[in-house]
Amino acid sequence: MTEGADRVTSTAPSAAMAPVPYRVRSRVVESPDAATLCLEPLDAVLPAPQPGEFMMLYAFGVGEAAISISGDPTVTDGSITHTIRAVGAVSRALHGAQPGTLIGVRGPFGTTWGLDEAAERDLVMVAGGVGLCPLRPAILGALANRTRYGRLMLVVGARSKADFLFAAQLEKWADDPHIELHLTVDVPVQDWRGEVGLVTEPLRRLALRPDRTTAFLCGPEPMLRFGAAALLAKGVAARDIRVSLERNMQCGVGWCGHCQLGPLLVCRDGPVVGYDVAGPLLRVKEL
């Protein structure tokens, strides 16, 4: 069982299901439908989440949703950061929460990207759309401990230039010699001078040392499948490709079964899973 799962199962049921009040400290609009919220504790402070884990966020009077961590893992002031895309009633309420708003928080839950296990290896991180949000803590964590890793490669795809999240940070990374950044869009605009197409195109061109490469992928399931296929074709082992799965999580602790994917309960056994486990499941239609 993973470290994240150990943390959940050792938590008393009442504590695991009781939201802790946090206040919105700041809100930053990232794209037309996404905003980043920094939440600060009112009293009780939950354990610091690790890259890849998620929290259950409760919009009072509306409902609860599982939201990945998107903040800097080196921050130690007790705050937690989430980037939320407005797609449903709960996410719209969370997305629109202004500074001072109270939000209920449970967690952290789930598995991590496994940065420690990837030490001394090259890292390839591939993000499609809002998939950059769960990957951002892993990127920041790797940059904060840069000497622990070999090459650090980041491939990010979006529908258009306006849809890239963390635009200012992407510009900074583009000039940072410690990270190799590749950006691509589906729909080019007049002032776009970068790549056009799927994230698999720059991924296929990367020269990798397959036996020393660990890959993290996050995005829509077709992107996970095609991205993993491109890495497998280069000789990267399936167990060294880690993907973040998305399912309808309602309890966060593996009780309700809503997030079942074959033998997995994604909230407990994921969301980050090796492709040796996830690959066969993602090939089954409507599973």
Binding residues for [2Fe-2S] cluster: 251, 256, 259, 267
Q: Which residues contact 250 (CB under 8 A, 6 or more apart)?
A: 64, 256, 258, 259
CA 72 to chain centre: 12
User: How far is 270 from 246, CA to CA, in rounded Å?
Assistant: 9
- Pick out the residues of the known binding site: 251, 256, 259, 267
In sequence order, what are the beta bridge partners of 196?
185
| Main-chain dihedrals φ then ψ at residue 238, nearest 5 degrees | -60, -35
Q: Are 254 and 8 within 8 A, CB to CB?
A: yes
Cis before 271 (ω within 30): yes
Tally of CB atoms within 10 A around 213? 23
Cα torsion at 100, 101, 102, 108 (round to 10°)? -90
Buried b (16+ CB within 10 A) or exposed e, 94-112: bbebeeebbbbbbbbbbbb
